[in-house]
Amino acid sequence: MGLHAILQVVFPHRCVGCGHTVAEPSGFCGPCWREAEFITGAACTGCGAPLPGEETDPAALRCDDCLTRPRPWHAGVAALVYAGTGRRFVLGLKHGDRIDLAPVAGRWLARVAGPLIRPDTVIAPVPLHRLRLLRRRYNQSALLARALAVQTGATLCPDLLERPRATPALEGADRDTRFARLDGAIRVTPRHAKHIAGRRVLIVDDVMTSGATLEAAALACHAAGSGEVSIAVLARALPGSGTGRAKATGKQPPIAHRTSGPPADARRGLAPVVPAP
Ligand SMILES: [Zn+2]
Ligand SMILES: [Zn+2]
């Protein structure tokens, strides 16, 4: 019995959707894959929300949310819908019991965010305030940003953004309250401002709900003199229900091709906010 087989007996991979044992650390068992709503068809170019119908002119694809509040970023993508097993996956990553799933999530993110990444792109996670970081021990968005950087070879700056003040939790807050609470709550870490001057930035978060946090992050990058800003989230929480929902495809999404390891400056910057793998 090889080491892998022994580890599988002692620490079997478990489906994050239902808890059943699975052969590979892929996150989901077969039935949960079929339930997960990966966004593979037409999607809003502002936030990645699935849209009904076939893809036509990508520039014209905007959901109601993004039409109502134009986004201060160039493009946005999401890997899955924040519902059902997709929601359970995100919560597992966020609350610590399944941080082993970050590499899987990184592959899903690379599939949707790969086309946004150029040679000068800097990947940066949405930051946690340091008190919340202490309580939670790690920043799930930083895990995702690192996993995406590993998949794509793009430069990672895990502490590009910071929250100088604590903001109340957003759970349960309405849309206007969310935007008001996050207004000016995020800034570029002063010592990193020169590193993003004129460069593209891709901001990574686990979930987009109203987009208030991502808006604060994007505005901070622009204020610091960055180039084009885009956003990539693991899951998009759709407002209301029943409109613009993607069908479950029942297929595992294609895995983005890994070109090379992260550049040296991406590896160097890993220590501050993410635990050792
Ligand atoms: Zn399952
Ligand atoms: Zn949108």
List the domain range (segments joined by +) for residue 78.
37-268
Query: Quick check: 116 pLDDT over 90?
Result: yes
Over residues 178-230, the pLDDT tens digits come to 898 888 899 999 999 999 999 999 999 999 999 999 999 999 999 999 999 99
- Residues 28 and 105: beta-carbon distance below 8 Å: no
The Cα 216–Cα 263 span in angstroms is 28
> DSSP secondary-structure letter at 52?
S
Considering the domain architecture, whether residues 3 and 66 belong to the same structural domain is answered as no
Q: Determine, yes or no, domain membership for 274.
A: no
Considering the domain architecture, whether residues 20 and 132 belong to the same structural domain is answered as no
Residue 242 neighbours by CB distance under 10 Å: 6
Considering the domain architecture, whether residues 11 and 63 belong to the same structural domain is answered as no
Considering the domain architecture, whether residues 46 and 10 belong to the same structural domain is answered as no
User: 195 by DSSP, 3-state: which?
Assistant: helix
Q: Which of 43-57, 177-191, 218-232, 260-274 has the lowest mean pLDDT?
A: 260-274
Ligand nearest to the CA of 69: 2
Q: What is the pLDDT of residue 169?
A: 80
Q: Determine, yes or no, domain membership for 227.
A: yes
For residue 82, report the distance from its CA to the centre of ligand 1, in Å: 16
Considering the domain architecture, whether residues 125 and 212 belong to the same structural domain is answered as yes
- Residues 83 and 238: beta-carbon distance below 8 Å: yes
Name the helix (H) or strand (E) containing 181.
helix 175-182
**pTM, to two decimals:** 0.82
Considering the domain architecture, whether residues 31 and 158 belong to the same structural domain is answered as no
For residue 48, report the distance from its CA to the centre of ligand 2, in Å: 6
The Cα 249–Cα 79 span in angstroms is 13
User: 159 by DSSP, 3-state: which?
Assistant: coil
Considering the domain architecture, whether residues 121 and 215 belong to the same structural domain is answered as yes
Share of the chain above pLDDT 70, in %: 80
Ligand nearest to the CA of 92: 1
CATH number at residue 121: 3.40.50
Considering the domain architecture, whether residues 53 and 65 belong to the same structural domain is answered as yes
The Cα 141–Cα 192 span in angstroms is 18
Q: Determine, yes or no, domain membership for 161.
A: yes
Considering the domain architecture, whether residues 30 and 41 belong to the same structural domain is answered as no
Tokens 């390891």 — which residue?
Answer: 261
> DSSP secondary-structure letter at 38?
B
Domain count, the chain: 2
Considering the domain architecture, whether residues 30 and 150 belong to the same structural domain is answered as no
Q: Determine, yes or no, domain membership for 200.
A: yes
Average pLDDT over residues 135-161: 95
Tokens 């990672």 — which residue?
Answer: 156
Ligand nearest to the CA of 30: 1
Q: What is the pLDDT of residue 162?
A: 96
Q: Taking ligand 2, which is a single-atom ion, which protein residues have CB atoms under 5 Å away?
A: 44, 46-47, 49, 63, 66
- Residue 253: name the closest of 110, 117, 42 by CA: 110
For residue 49, report the distance from its CA to the centre of ligand 2, in Å: 6
State the average pLDDT for the chain.
83
Angle between helix axes 84-94 and 140-152 (nearest 10 degrees) is 100
Considering the domain architecture, whether residues 25 and 105 belong to the same structural domain is answered as no
Query: Quick check: 242 pLDDT over 50?
Result: no
Q: Tokens standing for 230?
A: 């885009």
The Cα 47–Cα 72 span in angstroms is 11
Tokens 């979930």 — which residue?
Answer: 207
Considering the domain architecture, whether residues 55 and 141 belong to the same structural domain is answered as yes
For residue 69, report the distance from its CA to the centre of ligand 2, in Å: 9
For residue 234, report the distance from its CA to the centre of ligand 1, in Å: 19
Cβ density class 69-105: b for 16+ within 10 Å, e for less: eebbbbbbbbbbbbbebbbbbbbbbbeeebbbbbbbb
